[in-house]
């Protein structure tokens, strides 16, 4: 389905991992090949490429902007301290993005096996006291969002099948961000959290 939030103002607080320079360049090469076949879709710019770790306060939350700010103000000291402590107990690791797959509102680069990130999400959710439900096991970077005219699945799948992707990114820090334009097209870094031995 089209992504109705693309490029709109929002307010969210998220914990993310940026792709390193090598991985960003590799994804950009893939997008240069992908875009001509899908010219009406929204490519995620390199400045917004990331892997989500946890959504702390979601952009799609029904709460008003004022309520989100109040929630962040109440909990930020505890949350940021918990992220710092968890990051300090986590050794750097790698994420291998090996497939491009269609998702509900776009195209994602997926890592099929990333136990380090799943474990990190569980420990963070516990230490931060977040009621996240089941911790997501999918590890991905969104590279394209669907525009008003969604490509037919068969054609999109064929395009993606013809594109090989193998991108490894080094995870040495987490980033707590305030998202202002969806999906992280404009974001402000609130704090960086270096992982153990990566300072």
Q: Convert 138-162 to b/e letters by CB count within 10 Å (16 or more is b).
A: ebbbbbbbbbeebbeeeebeebbee
Q: How confident is the model at residue 123 (pLDDT cuts 50, 70, 90)?
A: very high
Q: How confident is the model at residue 131 (pLDDT cuts 50, 70, 90)?
A: confident
Q: How confident is the model at residue 34 (pLDDT cuts 50, 70, 90)?
A: confident
Average per-residue pLDDT in the chain? 92
Q: How confident is the model at residue 199 (pLDDT cuts 50, 70, 90)?
A: very low
Give the global pTM: 0.91
- Answer yes or no: is pLDDT of 198 > 60: no
Structure confidence at residue 45 (pLDDT): 94
């Amino acid at each position: 389905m089209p992504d109705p939030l693309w490029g709109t103002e929002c307010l969210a607080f998220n914990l993310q991992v940026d792709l390193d320079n090598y991985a960003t360049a590799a994804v950009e090469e893939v997008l240069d090949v992908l875009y001509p076949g899908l010219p009406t879709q929204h490519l995620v710019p390199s400045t917004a490429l990331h892997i989500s770790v946890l959504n702390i306060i979601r952009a799609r939350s029904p709460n008003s902007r004022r309520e989100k700010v109040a929630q962040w103000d109440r909990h930020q000291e505890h949350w940021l301290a918990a992220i710092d402590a968890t990051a300090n107990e986590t050794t750097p690791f790698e994420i291998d993005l090996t497939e491009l797959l269609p998702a509900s509102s776009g195209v994602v680069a997926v890592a099929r096996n990333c136990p380090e990130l799943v474990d990190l999400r569980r420990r963070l959710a516990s230490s931060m006291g977040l009621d996240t439900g089941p911790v997501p096991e999918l590890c991905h970077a969104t590279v394209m969002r669907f525009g008003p005219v969604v490509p037919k699945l068969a054609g999109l799948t064929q395009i993606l099948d013809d594109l090989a992707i193998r991108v490894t990114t080094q995870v040495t820090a987490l980033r707590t961000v305030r998202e202002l334009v969806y999906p992280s097209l404009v974001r402000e870094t609130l704090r960086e959290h270096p992982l153990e031995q990566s300072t």
